[in-house]
Structure 1
Amino acid sequence: MVRTVPLLRRLGVLVAAGLAGLLAVCGGQLASSASTATGTTPRTLTVSSPGQLPVVLAQARPGDRLEVAAGVYGAGPIRVGRSGTAQAPITIAALGQVRFTGSGGLDLTGASHVVVQGFVFANDAGLTVPGGAAGNRITRNVFQGNPGNADLTVAASDTEVDHNTFENRTAVGVYLQVVGPGAHDMAQRVHVHHNYFFNHQYKGANGGESIRFGLSGRQHAVANGLIEDNLFDKADGDSEAISVKSTNNVVRYNTIVNSRGTISLRHGWNTLVEGNILIGGTTGIRFFGNNHVIINNIVEDTAGTPMEVGGGEVRDDTTSGTDHEAADHCLVAFNTLSGTGNIVWYESSKPFPPSDDTLADNILLGHGQPAATGIGTALHFTGNILFGAPAGTLPAGAYRTIDPRLVRDAHGLLRPTATSPAIGAATGSFPQATLDIDGQTRPAAKDVGADQYNVATPARPLTTADVGSTAP
C-alpha cells in the first residue's frame, strides 16, 4: 500500500537532496557561497578510485557530498571517521555501480549524521551502524552478500533505512536486524520504510527472518520503532518475515506476498500492527505478549493460519528468556481474514493459553475447515462475520453467519460491495480504529472488516515500482 513518509522527515530529505543538487560540482570545488549551519560551505568531492576514498573521507565536513566512482572496492573496511549534523549530513553516494566485495565495506564507528547511498554490498560482513553512530541514513543500496549474521545491522538510535533492496539470501542469517547498545537495550526510533525484501531462500527452522527487530534478551526494551511500506516477496527464510522482539513498535502498511514468513510479535509488548496486506503462501499474523493491537489488516488466500493468538510456556516473562509468553489483553479487530485452513488459532497446547483477548468486528472467510481452533481464558467476542466454514471453537454469540458479499478489486483485494451486510454493522466502538485500511475515516457506524465501504479504494498491495533501490 502506498503511504508517505512523515512530513517533517520528508521535507528534510527533500531539502538535503535539493541542496546537494544545487551545490554539485566536480573535483571538490565549491559550488556556491551559501553556508551551512556550521559556517562552512557544502562541497561535492569526487572519489575516482578505492585508494582515494579514505583520503577524501578524511577531508569531509558537514554538508559535503562525496561521489564515489564506479568500481569494485574489495579492500577494507574503510573507516568513515567523520560526522555531519542533523541539518547538514555528510553524504557518501555511489556514481554508477560501486560494489563492496570480500573484506571491503564501510566502518561507521563514531560517524553520525551520515547518508550512505547507492552502493552494492556483496561483501563478507555487510554493513553495521554501531551504537554510537546516531542519526544515519542507509538509502538506495543493494544488499546481496549473504554474510553469516545479517546483511545490515542497526544498533544506533534515529537510523533511517529506506529504499534498499535485500535479495537472494541462501545462508542462515537475516537481511536486517535492529539491536541496541549493551545486552538488553534497543536502538530508539529506527525507521524502516520502502525497502524490498526478495527471495530469502535459506528455509531453515529458525534464523532466517527478513527483519528481526530486537532479540529475546531485549524484549522488554522500549524501541519506538516504525516498520512501514515495505514489500516482502518470497520471504521463505523461516516462519517469520517480520520478527518483533522488543516493546512499543508500529508495523503498518507493509505487503507480504508468496511467502512462508509471517508478521510475528515474538517477544515484547504494546505493538500496533495496522493496515498490512498479506497474500498467498503460508503467511499470516501471530503474536505473543501483552497489549498488542491488530487492526485493519487483510490476510487472504493463505494456506497458513491468518491469525495466531499465542499461548506460552510463561504467562509474563521476567527473565528475558526465549520462552513464548502468552498473548494477554490484546485486541484483534476490523481485519479481513481468509484462508484454506483454520482462520484463527488460539494456541492452547502450552501451559498458559491466551487470556483476556478480544476478537471483534472481523470478517472471517473459510473454505470448509473450522474457522477457529484452540481455546483461551476470559476471551471476548463481538461483531464478527463468519462465512464458508463452521465455527470450530468460536463460542455461540461470537459471530453471525452471513455472506459478507465481498468482491476482488483491480488489485485482487477482497472488498465489500454496496449491499454488504458488513456496512455499518460493527458492534464495538474501539477508538484504536479511527481509520480503515485505506486511511479513510471510520464514522460512528463502522463497517466490519478492514475496509470501510467507499467507491474509492486507494490502498493496494505494494509492487516493485514503489520500493527498493530504484523506486522513485
Structure 2
Amino acid sequence: MRHFCLVTATILALVTGPSTASAAQVVRVTSLSALQSAIDKAGPGDEIRLADGSYSAGSAIVIKRSGTANAPITITAEHVGKAEIKGSAGFSFSSGASHVVLRGFKLRHGGSMSVPVGSTHNRLTRLDVQLSGGGNWVTLNGDDTEFDHNVLQNRTIQGVFLQVLGPEKDMAKRVKVHHNYFSNHKFTGSNGGESIRFGLSHHQKYSAGGVVEYNLFEKADGDSEAISVKSSDNVVRYNTIRDSRGFIVLRHGDRSVVEGNILLGRSGIRFHGNDHKIVNNYVHTTADRGIVFGSGNEADSGPDSKLHDRPDRVVVAYNTVVGTTDGIHGDGGDFKPKDCVLANNILQGTGKLVSMPGGSDVKYEGNIVWGGPAGMPSGGYKAVDPKLVQDGLYRLSAGSPAIDAGVGSYPYAGTDFDLQTRSGKYDVGADELLPGGTRKALTRADVGPAAP
C-alpha cells in the first residue's frame, strides 16, 4: 500500500456505504494553502479541519462556497483554540456564502473580519479574537448570523469588538449574539470603544429583530456604552456586566426590550427613544445611577439624526436597583420623558432614589423604596424595608412586603430574573419568591470557547 504524507489533506468519507461524488467529507489540512484549496472545493456537509499550529496569512482566507440548512459547510480548528491565524489577514466571507460554520480558531492577525450583506445563516463560534490592527474587529452584515461562544479581549485603541449593521438602508435581520465573553477594552477616549454596537444612527428606524443574550462583559471600559443599540425591535436579555463603566444603552431606535440582565459594579441601563420595555433587571451598582431616562435633545429623532431622542412611552417595571446614591435618574435636556411608566420596582440605596427633571410625564405606581428619599409622588411608592437577603444576589425573603404587591397589568414582565414564571399577583422587583430561584451572575465558565 502506498502512503501519502499529510502536506495537503486527508479525506475521510462520512458514509457507511460505497462512496459517491456527493458524499460529505472530513478534510484535514496542514497548511493555509491547503485550507484555501479545500474551502474552494467544499460542498454541503463537508467539514474542513486545520491541524493544530501557528499559521501566518499574507492574504485573506476567502470563503465562497455555501452549504445548506441541513448540511452546512464547517471550517474548524482540529482542536478548539489550537490553530492560530497570524499575519496581515484572516477569514473573509464572500457575498452569498451562506450556511457556513466557522469554529475554534485563535485569531491574532491584522485587519478585521466581516460577514457581508447577502451571506446568510452563517455561524461564528468558539473563536478567540484578539486582532492586531485598528478598526472594528468583527462586523456582521448578513441576515440570520449566529455569533456564539467566542471571546473578544484586550483592546487599547478606539474601535468596537463586535458590530452588527446590514445594508446601507436597512439592518441585518435576526442576528443572534450569545454566550460570548467580552473583556478588557482599555480605550481611554470618550466615545467609540463599545463592546457591541448594534446599528448606527442612520439605522435607528430599521427593525433588526436581533437578540443579545447570555453574554459576559468584564472591564468594558472603552466607552460609556458596553452594549450600544442603534436600531429597532431588539432584545437584550440575561447578560452579565461586571466591573465595567459601560452601560446597556438604547441610544437610538424604538420598541426594544431590556430584560433580566445582571449589572454589577459601575454599570447600569440608559435609554432613549420610544416604546421600550425595561423589565426584571438586577442592578447592584456602586455608581451614582442605576437606570437612566436619557436626555432629550429632540422630541423624536429623524432617520439620520445623531441627537438624543426623548424617551416616550417607555415602561420601567419590576426591576431591583440596590446600592446606588441615585437609583433611577432622568438626564433632562430640553425634551423631558413623556408618557413613561415607573412601576413595581425595588429601589434601595443611600441617596435620592428617583430623580426626574421637572416637566417629566411619568406614571408612578407600586414601587418600594428603602434607605433614601423616594423622589416621586406619594401615591407611587411605599417606603418600607423590602427584606432582601443576599445569596450571591439580593432576593426577597419570606415576609417581604414586596410579595404579591405588584399593581397594574404588565404581562411582559411575567418571567422574573431567575427565569421563573410569575403567577397571580406579581411580587415587586426583579425576583418572584419561588422555590428553586438560584440564578447567579455569569462567570468565565459559562461563556466563551470552552463553555458547554
TM over 0.5: same fold? yes
1:354 aligns with 2:337: yes
Check whether the contact 2:290–2:324 (CA below 8 A) recurs between aligned residues: no
* Structure 2 CA distance for aligned equivalents of residues 224 and 179 of structure 1: 12
1:441 pairs, out of 418, 421, 431, with: 421
Superposition map of 1:363-378 within 5 A? 363-378=346-361
User: Deviation per CA, 1:398-447, whole angstroms, max 9, x where unpaired?
Assistant: 211000000111xx201010011100111122111122111222112110
1:101 to partner: Cα distance: 2.1
User: Deviation per CA, 1:230-263, whole angstroms, max 9, x where unpaired?
Assistant: 0001111110111000000001100011110100
State the partner residue of 2:56: 73
User: Deviation per CA, 1:357-383, whole angstroms, max 9, x where unpaired?
Assistant: 000000001113454242443210100
State the partner residue of 1:404: 386
Q: Which moved more, 1:118-127 or 1:354-363?
A: 118-127
Aligned residue for 2:155, secondary structure, equals coil
1:471 aligns with 2:451: yes
* Structure 1 CA distance for aligned equivalents of residues 399 and 285 of structure 2: 23
| Matched pairs, number | 440
State the partner residue of 1:12: none
2:45 pairs, out of 50, 59, 63, with: 63
Q: Which moved more, 1:165-174 or 1:50-59?
A: 50-59
Unaligned runs of 5+ in 1: 1-25
* Structure 2 CA distance for aligned equivalents of residues 295 and 223 of structure 1: 20
1:53 to partner: Cα distance: 1.5
Aligned residue for 1:177, secondary structure, equals strand
1:35 to partner: Cα distance: 11
1:172 aligns with 2:145: no
* Structure 2 CA distance for aligned equivalents of residues 119 and 344 of structure 1: 42
Check whether the contact 2:155–2:187 (CA below 8 A) recurs between aligned residues: yes
1:149 to partner: Cα distance: 2.1
Alpha carbons of 1:245 and 1:35: their partners in 2 closer, same or farther (altered >3 Å)? Answer: farther
1:339 to partner: Cα distance: 3.0
* Structure 1 CA distance for aligned equivalents of residues 286 and 278 of structure 2: 18
Instruction: Output the amino acid matched with 1:367.
Output: T
Ranges of 4+ aligned residues in structure 1 off by more than 3 Å: 33-36, 368-371
1:240 aligns with 2:225: yes
2:328 pairs, out of 326, 334, 344, with: 344
Alpha carbons of 1:354 and 1:371: their partners in 2 closer, same or farther (altered >3 Å)? Answer: closer
State the partner residue of 1:220: 205
Instruction: Output the amino acid matched with 2:396.
Output: P
* Structure 1 CA distance for aligned equivalents of residues 442 and 179 of structure 2: 9
User: Deviation per CA, 1:181-212, whole angstroms, max 9, x where unpaired?
Assistant: 1x231000000000000111113200010000
1:379 aligns with 2:362: yes
Instruction: Output the amino acid matched with 1:386.
Output: V
* Structure 1 CA distance for aligned equivalents of residues 361 and 439 of structure 2: 35
| Structure with the bigger percentage of strand | 2
2:298 pairs, out of 296, 314, 319, with: 314
User: Deviation per CA, 1:113-153, whole angstroms, max 9, x where unpaired?
Assistant: 11110112212122111111111000000110153221110
* Structure 2 CA distance for aligned equivalents of residues 306 and 197 of structure 1: 21
Check whether the contact 1:121–1:127 (CA below 8 A) recurs between aligned residues: no
State the partner residue of 1:286: 270
1:157 pairs, out of 136, 143, 150, with: 143
Superposition map of 1:246-285 within 5 A? 246-280=231-265, 282-285=266-269
State the partner residue of 2:6: none
* Structure 1 CA distance for aligned equivalents of residues 353 and 211 of structure 2: 35
Aligned residue for 2:368, secondary structure, equals strand
1:73 to partner: Cα distance: 2.7
1:415 pairs, out of 374, 395, 398, with: 395
1:345 to partner: Cα distance: 0.9
Alpha carbons of 1:304 and 1:241: their partners in 2 closer, same or farther (altered >3 Å)? Answer: farther
State the partner residue of 1:196: 181
* Structure 1 CA distance for aligned equivalents of residues 343 and 427 of structure 2: 11
Q: Which moved more, 1:219-228 or 1:435-444?
A: 435-444
* Structure 2 CA distance for aligned equivalents of residues 251 and 334 of structure 1: 16
1:120 pairs, out of 79, 94, 106, with: 106
Alpha carbons of 1:314 and 1:371: their partners in 2 closer, same or farther (altered >3 Å)? Answer: closer
* Structure 2 CA distance for aligned equivalents of residues 395 and 299 of structure 1: 23
Q: CA RMSD in A?
A: 1.7
* Structure 2 CA distance for aligned equivalents of residues 187 and 376 of structure 1: 38
Q: TM-score, normalised by structure 1?
A: 0.90
Aligned residue for 1:432, secondary structure, equals helix
Alpha carbons of 1:286 and 1:376: their partners in 2 closer, same or farther (altered >3 Å)? Answer: farther
1:161 to partner: Cα distance: 0.1
User: Deviation per CA, 1:37-74, whole angstroms, max 9, x where unpaired?
Assistant: x9921100011112212111121111000001222232
1:460 aligns with 2:445: no
* Structure 2 CA distance for aligned equivalents of residues 302 and 101 of structure 1: 40
* Structure 1 CA distance for aligned equivalents of residues 358 and 447 of structure 2: 40
Q: Name the % identity.
A: 47
Check whether the contact 1:92–1:116 (CA below 8 A) recurs between aligned residues: yes
* Structure 1 CA distance for aligned equivalents of residues 90 and 239 of structure 2: 29
